[in-house]
Structure 1
Amino acid sequence: MRNNVTAVPAAAAADALAHFERLFAYETDCWDTHEALQQPDPGFVLLDVRSPALYARGHVPGAISLPHGKIIASKMAQWPAATLFVTYCAGPHCNGAARAALRLAQLGRPVKVMAGGITGWIDEGFALETMSAMAGV
Structure 2
Amino acid sequence: MNAPGPGGPELLEITANAGVVQARQAVRALAQACRLSLVEQTKLITAASELARNTLIHGGGGTMAAALVEERGRRGVRLVFADRGPGIPDVDLALTDGWTSGSGMGLGLSGSKRLVDDFVLDTTPGQGTTITVTKWAR
Greater strand share, structure number: 2
| Fold match (TM-score > 0.5) | no
TM range, smaller chain: under 0.3
Rg (Cα) greater in structure: 1
- Per the normalisation by structure 1, the TM-score is 0.27
